[in-house]
Every structure is written in C-alpha cells, then in structure tokens.
Amino acid sequence: MAIARRVAEQIAGSSWIRRMFEEAEELRRGGGQVFDFTLGNPRIDPPSRFTETLIEVARSELPGKHGYMPNAGLSDVRSAVAAYLSREQGVPLEGRHVIMTCGAAGAMNVVLKAVLNPGDEVLASAPYFVEYGTYAANHGGTLVAVPSRADFDLDVEAFGRAIAPGTAAVILNSPNNPTGRVYPESTIRALGDMLEIRSREVGRSILLISDEPYRKLVYDGAAVPSVMKAYRNSVVLTSYSKDLSIPGERIGLAAVHPEAEGCEELIAALSLCNRALGFVNAPVLMQRVVARLQGESVDIRIYQRNRDALYQGLAQRGYELSRPEGAFYLFPRAPGGDDLGFVGALRRERILAVPSSGFGIKGYFRLAYCVEPETIPQALPAFERAIAPYR
Amino acid sequence: MAIARRVAEQIAGSSWIRRMFEEAEELRRGGGQVFDFTLGNPRIDPPSRFTETLIEVARSELPGKHGYMPNAGLSDVRSAVAAYLSREQGVPLEGRHVIMTCGAAGAMNVVLKAVLNPGDEVLASAPYFVEYGTYAANHGGTLVAVPSRADFDLDVEAFGRAIAPGTAAVILNSPNNPTGRVYPESTIRALGDMLEIRSREVGRSILLISDEPYRKLVYDGAAVPSVMKAYRNSVVLTSYSKDLSIPGERIGLAAVHPEAEGCEELIAALSLCNRALGFVNAPVLMQRVVARLQGESVDIRIYQRNRDALYQGLAQRGYELSRPEGAFYLFPRAPGGDDLGFVGALRRERILAVPSSGFGIKGYFRLAYCVEPETIPQALPAFERAIAPYR
C-alpha cells in the first residue's frame, strides 16, 4: 500500500536526520568511544523515591487498579496535581482543571486538536522544538516561527506583529529546548499584556500554551515565572519525563487556567480529544505513581555540574555560546556558520550533536548534556580538534 | 478561547451519551444497586502472573530502564511479540514488523495517519465500534459503514460494491464489538480474495486493518482465523487491555504483514506517526511486562459463564438475541424496535446499557458482560420487568 503523501514527504524531508543517525550508528558499530550529545534522554536514574513508589503501587491491592477511568484521569490524581500546580503557578486550580496525558507531546496534540480550525496559525519563538510544526499540522494548523532576540529571549513585539485573525495560539517553551533559556518575568508579563491587547484587536482570544517539561531543571537559583499569573487564557503543559528521568513512561498533563474564557468547555474538549486521538487516558499505574511524587525531581546538581564543565570547556576552546539557566542543552554557534557542516566535523571527531537547522534556524548546534559526567572531560579534546581549523 | 468547530460539533453530537451518563450517575448517587452493563472495562482482576511480572520488572535494575527507545519500541520486546504473532497468524514475522503502541486505539490512529490522504474512505461493517469514525476523521478520512448480514457476519459482496478508487482501507473487527461475532474462516478468505480483485480493479492496494483486541476472548472452542494468511496487504492491531484486564495501561501494537506491498516503507511510516501524533512510544515499563506474558490471558471461563447466564436469562425472558462466540458483549434486539427508548426503559429498572445508535445501526442494545458474576442473576428480574410491557 502507498503511505500518505504527507507522511512520505515527512520521511523524505527528514532523510538528513536519518542519514545522521545512520552515520552515528556506523560510528558506534565501529567500536571505540562515541560522545553522544544528541538526545534529551536523561542518563541519570530516576530518584530512589520513584522506584520505591512504583513498587509500592505495583503491589497495592485496589479493585480495578489497571482499568479504565474517566478520560481526563483519576480524580484523586488530578486533585493532587492541582494542589501542587496551584502553589507552582500561584493560581488556585482544582482537580477538574487538570487533564492527565501521555506525556507533554500527548498534551500538546490534545490541546491543538481541541482549539485549531483548518488554516489556523500557531506562533512559536525560533529556535523551537521541531515537532511543534508537525503537531500543528496534525490538526489542520500551521506553525509560524517568530525569530527570538539575539540573546534567545522572546521578541514580544515581533509576536505582536505576527498575530493575525487566524492566530489561534502561541506556544511558549521555558526553559527552552534547544537554547536552555529561561524567559524572565518581565518578558512573560509583557507577553501576557500584549496577548490581551492583540486578542482584543483581532477579535479572538488567543490561547497561550506554556510547554514546561523542563521547569524543575533550573540552575543558579533561577526561577521559571508563572504564566498563569501573567495571562488568564492559558494552558500549562508538562511531563514527568525530565523531572523524574522517565521519558519512556509517557506521563504528563495539561492544566487549564481556572479563569480562562470558556474554561469548562475547553476542559470538556481536552477530555474528548484525549479519547478521540486514541490516547484514551494517561497510563494509570504511572498516574498513581506521579500523584505521590508531586514536586520530586532528580538531583539537578548533576546537570548543573555537567553544564558548568561543558560550558567552561567549550568557552575556553573558543566556542561562542551563552550559559543557559535551565533544561539540559547548550546551543553554541557553529564555527564557520554552517551548522550541518560543523556537525559533520564534530562527527569525524566522534562527537554527535544536532544542527540548529533541525530547530528552525541556521548557524548553531545543540548539545544535550544529560550525559554521564565523565563523558564531558573525555569529549573536550575532540571539541578542541573540531574547532582548531576555524581559529 | 473558542474550541475547534469540529470538536464543538462532536461534543454537541454526543450530548445524548453525556445525558445518559449523567442519568446513570444520578441513579448511582441515589443509592441502591445499579446494574451497569455499559462499559468494556473488565471487572476481573489481571492474572496473578501479570502482577508478579510487574513487580519483578519494577524492581529490576536496568540502565535507562524508564528512558526513551526507538519510537517503534524496545527491540527485544518487538522480537518476543513477533515470535508469538508468527504462531498466532501462521505467518513468519520478525521484530521489525511490530510497532508497540499506546493500546489498540493508539495503533489505529497511527495506521490511519500513515495511510490516509485527504478525502480517502475507510470501510467498516456496521454495527461498528463508534470511535472508528472519529479516528478516520482525525486524519482527513471518512468512515463508510457497510451493513452486516442479518446474522452479523460480514457482507463481503457489499464490501466489494462499496470499494471505490478513494478506498484506502477496510477495518475488520473480530471478535466484534458490539456483536460478539467471530467471522468464520470462509468469510475471511472470501474477504481476502475480494480485496485482491477489487484492489486490481480500482488500481489501488487496499489495506486490511484487523483490529483484534478480543482475539483471546472466545468460547465453545471457537478460533479466530488468521487475517494475514488470507490477505498480504494487512496490518493486525491488538492490545493487552482485554487479555490481561489492563485497559488503563494503554499498551498494544500494530504488526505489518511481512509480504505487504511497500512493507518497509509502511513500517517507517508507522514509526514516524507514533512519534508525530505525540504518542512517541508505548509506555516502556508495560512493554517489558507484556513481552514476558505473550499468550497469557485472564481466566475466560468467567466470561463464558457470564455469557451463558446472561444469554439464557434473556432468551428465556423473550429477548431476541444470538449467542456470540467472542468478546464480552451481547447485542439483543430492542423490544419495540426503538433502541434509545428501550435503553431508557432499562434505566428505569436500574439497568445501564448502550443503545445501538451509538454503533451505527438502530434497533438493538449492547450489554457488556465483563461484570462480577453475581450481577447477572441479580439483574434478571429487572430485565424481566423491562420487557413485560412488550410481550
């Protein structure tokens, strides 16, 4: 059978990524050490409380323990999450404002399905997590990239100019993938004010979707400001993938601002879309586990040490990069300006990285430093050799 | 914010279902016994080997145990599943033919996304699992219902006539929800032959999607014939929800016939769509658990006894119904012919059932008998009172 044209195009369009993976696989098969900084797949084990809770829940005897529940999730789980989010966001949420989902990616698809009409636009700051474009297209929408400022902060004015009557939503991702940037409170406030004004001007309430899977991974005492305090027509998405190092378990959520316009209708739509897209409900065992681990996270000091070691090592060797406050990514400039070319040069030194073309801008590369700490000093001489010809 | 028009329509269109649930909730809140035959949510506990394996896997120390893996699943899990399916289907599958998914509903969305172009049609035999229509629409397709024969067997000739150049796929669901019918081997063979011929005639290889979550729930020694032996352009979907009584865990799979046309491209498309739709991968802990439980199922004698007790009890009381060989549903005619009306009459007797209008035909109602065995004798007098005015 022929596959769908759009899927065939996506496969063809991502052939350079596949080729990159194949070259990486070839490197690995060749033996010897490979320094893999490509994947946001935490190498750090989940916190011990996670494993203890998992075993406890696995052993517990509850009737219908692995059965269906309402599509939005178990009500006691939703209440536990709401209590935690209320403190985090500084806005009082109840269980009914929370929809448990299959990860943040599942949550994003559920939200976009719930609000997009054919031809609608979704705005995101570039560089951005590349799947946003796919997710918008899944539900008949189009992603519009709004270039960030030079320091990777949001360009609120550029967002304001990009908003049109066809704009359904704005995606915010802080701490940011791929830059690691945490947007300051002044930016979030300005964004909220601008969205109020532009919503009135274009005659449509624009939804702010805050994708926050890295919220707990912040360093140097940085804090991620509340989006809900800045703008009421907002939905917060997150997952436990990074907090607890469990990305393969697919557990996350969407939370609707209790004062959002049409809040109840939006909640009903999210619940329906969770079922309609085939997720049905978030995996129930993990719902019970994460409910008991609200606020828990892996020891982020490991990531902070990795960030410091890799940042300093690269800066000393002449790489141009900023020192991000969150997530587990560095986003240096590609020496010479050609990100695909420089990622090839890194690969020849047995370093795997992702070119920024994969994030909607050119001239940078992304390093995921959620690696074992010893990898970094071992890789630095190879980074040194890769940049040498450009100095 | 306004929700998407299509979602608003779906919410409005399903308002009668919501009203039904609300009335049921009201019944429950009122106290006293309620006989709930609405949901395919098994009341039987998972087999003890499931819980043992779950605890074992939860305790096991594997590096990156809860991390990401390729979107299609863990390779050893895919191999274990392929070995089992090879015996079940009588066709030699390898691990690469299997994509682990978030349940059968997730698998169906992944397959439809992978093959549907805008405007394509998907055929299914009515009565059918009502979400098929939603799933086809999610990916730009339209579901076309082909009425079954009077005995609920597939009407292969009617399918042949319904096939057009816009037909991308045919969905087969055996044992069937809602009828409990297991299609005989002669029907499956005739379907395969017809699809070969009609594919040639319309100049398009039609994909046969066999949705088999109830395959292990068959009675009286019935067997579910292999679809893969009958037609090579086929994909088998299943989940462990019914086999192991774990529908809330969202674990299932899609398996591609190894000799399907464009098999490798289809596998790549399924893998990509699993990611693109936001599933990313099937929950990893459950992947490991089910890999060790291939062929395992709950004690189906409980369901068989329930079926026998409910079938006999209803037949004796004058209900018109057939005695299905599989799944856990009975599908009697609604006395008087008005399914919505009769379901209302049942509710007044504190029995909850689903009218057949929810499955694309009129005049029947569905009873899910995956209930505690004592529920059935307790409910029979109420069934008696409900039918009395119609005799």
Domains in chain A and their CATH numbers?
5-46+298-390 (3.90.1150.10), 63-291 (3.40.640.10)
User: Per residue in B137-187, pLDDT tens?
Assistant: 999 999 999 999 999 999 999 999 999 999 999 999 999 999 999 999 999
pLDDT grade, residue A24 (50/70/90)? confident
**Residue in B42, B46, B55 nearest the CB of A59:** B55
pLDDT grade, residue B32 (50/70/90)? confident
**Residue in A168, A247, A277 nearest the CB of B67:** A247
Chain A residues closer than 8 Å to B54 by CB:
58, 285
Q: Report the percent of chain A where pLDDT is more than 90.
A: 88
Alpha helices in B139-261 (DSSP H): 156-162, 185-202
Q: What's the pLDDT score for residue A225?
A: 98
Chain B residues closer than 8 Å to A105 by CB:
278-280
CA-based nearest distance B144→chain A, Å: 18
User: What residue has token string 């005492």?
Assistant: A221
Question: DSSP readout, A145-195?
Answer: EEEPPTTS---HHHHHHH--TTEEEEEEESS-TTT-----HHHHHHHHHHH
**Residue in B51, B272, B280 nearest the CB of A7:** B272
- The Cα–Cα gap between A167 and A151 comes to 26
pLDDT grade, residue A64 (50/70/90)? confident
Collect all residues with Cβ–Cβ distance below 8 Å to A338 and sequence separation of at least 6.
Answer: A363
Compare all CA atoms of chain A with the CA of B134 and give the residue at the minimum distance: A276
Is the predicted pLDDT of residue B107 greater than 90, yes or no?
yes
| Interchain pair A265, B54: CB under 8 A | no
Checking A184-187 for CB contacts under 8 A at 24+ apart, the result is A184/A153, A184/A225, A185/A225, A187/A153, A187/A154, A187/A156
CB atoms within 10 A of CB A193: 14
Collect all residues with Cβ–Cβ distance below 8 Å to B288 and sequence separation of at least 6.
Answer: B57, B74, B77
Compare all CA atoms of chain B with the CA of A167 and give the residue at the minimum distance: B1
What interhelical angle do A131-138 and A103-115 show, nearest 10?
A: 40
**Pairing mode, if any, of strands B98-101 and B121-126?**
unpaired
pLDDT grade, residue A187 (50/70/90)? very high
**Residue in A4, A107, A262 nearest the CB of B2:** A262
Q: φ and ψ at B89, to 5 degrees?
A: -90, -15
Q: What's the pLDDT score for residue A282?
A: 98
| Interchain pair A2, B204: CB under 8 A | yes
| Interchain pair B11, A41: CB under 8 A | no
Is the predicted pLDDT of residue A203 greater than 80, yes or no?
yes
**Residue in A58, A109, A115 nearest the CB of B278:** A109
Q: What is the interface size between A and B, counted as CB pairs within 8 Å? A: 235
| Interchain pair B279, A69: CB under 8 A | no
- The Cα–Cα gap between A374 and A376 comes to 5
**Residue in B103, B116, B248 nearest the CB of A69:** B248
| Interchain pair B276, A11: CB under 8 A | no
User: Strand pairing partners for B326?
Assistant: B218
Is the predicted pLDDT of residue B23 greater than 80, yes or no?
no
| Interchain pair B41, A68: CB under 8 A | yes
- The Cα–Cα gap between A112 and A132 comes to 10
Is the predicted pLDDT of residue B347 greater than 80, yes or no?
yes
Is the predicted pLDDT of residue B224 greater than 90, yes or no?
yes
| Interchain pair A260, B1: CB under 8 A | yes
Chain B residues closer than 8 Å to A107 by CB:
278
| Interchain pair B46, A69: CB under 8 A | no
- The token duo for A140 is 């008949």
User: What residue has token string 């240096």?
Assistant: A332
Q: What's the pLDDT score for residue A287?
A: 98
User: Per residue in A136-168, pLDDT tens?
Assistant: 999 999 999 999 999 999 999 999 999 999 999
- The Cα–Cα gap between A45 and A215 comes to 18
- The Cα–Cα gap between A119 and A261 comes to 22
Q: By the 8 A CB rule, do A192 and A186 touch?
A: no
CB burial of residue A339 (10 Å; 0-12, 13-18, 19+): buried
| Interchain pair B1, A59: CB under 8 A | no
Q: By the 8 A CB rule, do A133 and A357 touch?
A: no
| Interchain pair B280, A250: CB under 8 A | yes
Q: What is the ipTM of this complex?
A: 0.95
Q: Average pLDDT of chain A?
A: 95
pLDDT grade, residue B208 (50/70/90)? very high
Distances (CA, A) of A230 to A169, A194, A198, A225, A342: 15, 10, 15, 9, 40
Collect all residues with Cβ–Cβ distance below 8 Å to A9 and sequence separation of at least 6.
Answer: none
- The Cα–Cα gap between B17 and B20 comes to 5
Strand order in the sheet with A365-368: A329-330, A365-368, A354-355
- The Cα–Cα gap between A63 and B44 comes to 9
CA-based nearest distance B169→chain A, Å: 9
- The Cα–Cα gap between B287 and B283 comes to 6
Q: What's the pLDDT score for residue A41?
A: 80
| Interchain pair A245, B67: CB under 8 A | yes
- The Cα–Cα gap between A171 and A108 comes to 10
Q: Which of A7, A208, A259 is the best substitution to test chain B (most B C-beta atoms within 10 A)? A: A7
Q: What's the pLDDT score for residue B312?
A: 98
Q: What's the pLDDT score for residue A44?
A: 83
A364 DSSP assignment: B
pLDDT grade, residue A185 (50/70/90)? very high
User: Per residue in A318-360, pLDDT tens?
Assistant: 999 999 999 999 999 999 999 999 999 999 999 999 999 989 9
- The Cα–Cα gap between B172 and B176 comes to 8
Q: Report the percent of chain B where pLDDT is more than 90.
A: 88
Q: By the 8 A CB rule, do B131 and B123 touch?
A: no
User: For residue A255, which of A87, A142, A54, A131 has the smallest C-alpha distance?
Assistant: A87
Collect all residues with Cβ–Cβ distance below 8 Å to A36 and sequence separation of at least 6.
Answer: A24, A352, A371
User: Per residue in B269-289, pLDDT tens?
Assistant: 999 999 999 999 999 999 999
User: For residue A319, which of A377, A383, A366 has the smallest C-alpha distance?
Assistant: A383
Collect all residues with Cβ–Cβ distance below 8 Å to A348 and sequence separation of at least 6.
Answer: A386
User: Per residue in B51-64, pLDDT tens?
Assistant: 999 999 999 988 88
Is the predicted pLDDT of residue B199 greater than 80, yes or no?
yes
Alpha helices in A280-370 (DSSP H): 284-291, 300-316, 339-348
Half-sphere exposure of residue B250: CA atoms within 13 angstroms, side-chain side = 35
A288 DSSP assignment: H
| Interchain pair B105, A280: CB under 8 A | yes
Q: By the 8 A CB rule, do B201 and B158 touch?
A: no
Q: Which of B3, B245, B274 is the best substitution to test chain A (most A C-beta atoms within 10 A)? A: B3
| Interchain pair A114, B7: CB under 8 A | yes
Reduced to 3 states (helix: H, G, I; strand: E, B; else coil), residue B379 is helix
Q: Choose the weakest-confidence range: A32-41, A94-103, A253-262, B111-120.
A: A32-41
